Amino acid sequence: MKRKNSQNLFKKAQKIIPGGVNSPVRAFRGVGGDPVFMKSAKGPILTDVDGNHYIDYVGSWGPMILGHAHPKVLKAIEGAAKRGTSFGTPTSAEIDLALEVIKAYPSIEKVRFVSSGTEAVMGAIRVARGFTKKNKIIKFDGCYHGHADSLLVKAGSGAATLGVPDSAGVPAEFTEHTLIATFNDIDSVKKLFEEFSDDIAAVIVEPVVGNMGVILPQDDFLLKLRVLCDEEESLLILDEVMTGFRVAFGGAQDFYGVTPDITTLGKIIGGGLPVGAYGGRGDIMDCVAPVGPVYQAGTLSGNPVAMAAGLSTLQNLKKANPYKKLAKLTQKLAEGIEEAASKNNISVLVPHVGSMFTIFFTGDPITNAQEARGADKNLYAQFFHLMLDQGIYLAPSQFEACFISATHTEKHIQQTIKAANKAFSGLVL
Ligand code: HOZ
């Protein structure tokens, strides 16, 4: 597959944009080679600047559950943009989207919109500290909650891809209140509570880890966290930026039956435009300015065009209700890939839930970040390129989730399994 135009653009971009990209994992450092510059996308298909087509399993890192360029979402965006792109005043679109979110998430009584998942988490943590008047936060090794200073500790996603889970430029004092536990290990959380009991404001967790590849919660881990937080008078924050409206319309909290105090959302609620949100119990959210003393603000927060894209996405998602179909296709794909690997005598594990999955080259179960790091990244990198050259666009890093959209069909899945079979046979072991 020729990618001359992509290569030229990458050369040009690297001179004026750090690493040629505006978000590190896009640079393909986790898999080697040059990133592909895309020109357009429709449904499940990406088209690059050289005219090559790819079945897309990245979906803009999660938002595009309805597929790319959904006509109704585009119409909503166009309509909103024609009325004006930003007013810096309240608009009724914010109420409409808030009502839609609150209806789908009974744990959310009030919600504040921001412009990204990172911002949503920053707000959620500040409000947790303001509400509890405690300082410390427990996060999990490998979970990624955006790039705020205090959360870039043992972080997944790009930080894990680049092998810098603790970022330079973050003074040690800024992370002294961040405590690290092991995902799926409730005892590791209990230990931290024993040590810092009076000062833990919140436990924040990706209910399904998506930023170390997909890692599923086991043995009622989330429910155990809920109980522990109640006992210790700490808040439970579910970071559903990735899982919200993804593993179910009501997110992982609906899927696993766990009620958080605060939820963070992003990706799908913006329908491909920049939107994040944090919300929760009314008494907690009333700590946020202007009602309460926890300050948080943003010029483009609740932007009318982004609200319109989000609202149309949620409405069309609710109407289409593709969740059963998505789960079935994902399972088929996961099983098909595992089977193709085993035919080629290669150990592969494809953890999946709803429409999220990751391909790990390992024969062992993966329940936490440490185990995910043990999978063979070199084989993943080779596999990634062998798939790319057959027109299959997987996440360009071992430590990210892949996604299926409502526009993927049985045909795309079978084509992908066929390509995987060929890719496995071409791996240099
Ligand atoms: N951190 C995002 C996925 N977990 C990647 C964002 C991007 O590169 O677009």
pLDDT of 303-345, one tens digit each?
Answer: 999 999 999 999 999 999 999 999 999 999 999 999 999 999 9
Residue nearest to atom 4 of ligand 1 (CA): 157
Report residue 185 as tokens. Answer: 């290990």
pLDDT of 392:
98
Q: Report how far residue 182's alpha carbon sits from residue 139's, in angstroms, rounded to the nearest whole number.
A: 8
How would residue 158 be classed by pLDDT, with cut points 50, 70 and 90?
A: confident
pLDDT band at 124 (very low <50, low <70, confident <90, very high): very high
The closest alpha carbon to 188, from 129, 236, 140, 128, belongs to: 140
- 4-65+322-425 shares its CATH topology with 71-320: no
Could you identify the atom of ligand 1 that is nearest to the CA of residue 21? Answer: 8
pLDDT confidence of residue 250: 98
Read out DSSP for 14-51? HHHSGGGSSSGGGG-TTT-SPPPPEEEEEBTEEEETTS
Question: What integer pLDDT is reported at residue 163 of this predicted model?
Answer: 73
Which tens digit of pLDDT belongs to each residue from 167-189? 899 998 999 999 999 999 999 99
pLDDT at 162 over 90: no
Looking at the DSSP bridge assignments, the partners of residue 239 are 264
State the distance from the centre of ligand 1 to the C-alpha of 111, rounded, in angstroms. Answer: 24
- What does the pLDDT average to over 357-366? 98
Quickly state the pLDDT bin for 161 (edges 50, 70, 90): confident
> 164 pLDDT exceeds 90?
no
Q: What are phi and psi of 74, to 5 degrees?
A: -60, -40
State pLDDT tens for residues 44-77. 999 999 999 999 999 999 999 999 999 999 999 9
- Half-sphere exposure (CA, 13 Å, Cβ side) for 229? 26
Atom of ligand 1 nearest to the CA of 61: 3
Tell me what the pLDDT averaged over the chain comes to: 97
CA distances from 155 to 51, 83, 158 (A): 36, 40, 8
pLDDT reported for residue 181: 97
Residue with tokens 């803009």: 60
Task: Please indicate whether residue 384, judged by its CB atom, sits closer than 6 Å to ligand 1.
Answer: no
Q: Are 406 and 67 in contact (CB under 8 A)?
A: yes
Q: Does residue 383 surpass a pLDDT of 90?
A: yes
Best mutation site among 28, 37, 143, 157 for ligand 1 pocket (most ligand atoms within 8 Å of CB)? 157
The helix/strand/coil state of 107 is: coil
Residue 24 alpha carbon to ligand 1 centre in Å: 8
Task: Tell me the backbone φ, ψ of residue 46, rounded to 5 degrees.
Answer: -100, 145
Assigned CATH for 4-65+322-425: 3.90.1150.10
Distance 133 CA to ligand 1 centre (A): 32
Domain residue spans in the chain? 4-65+322-425, 71-320
Residues annotated as catalytic (active site), given as ranges = 144, 239, 267
Looking at residue 165, its pLDDT comes to: 72
Beta bridge partner(s), residue 38: 48
CATH of range 71-320; options 3.40.640.10, 3.30.1510.10, 2.40.50.100, 3.30.365.10? 3.40.640.10
Distance 113 CA to ligand 1 centre (A): 20
Residue 124 identity: A
164 vs 168, more confident: 168
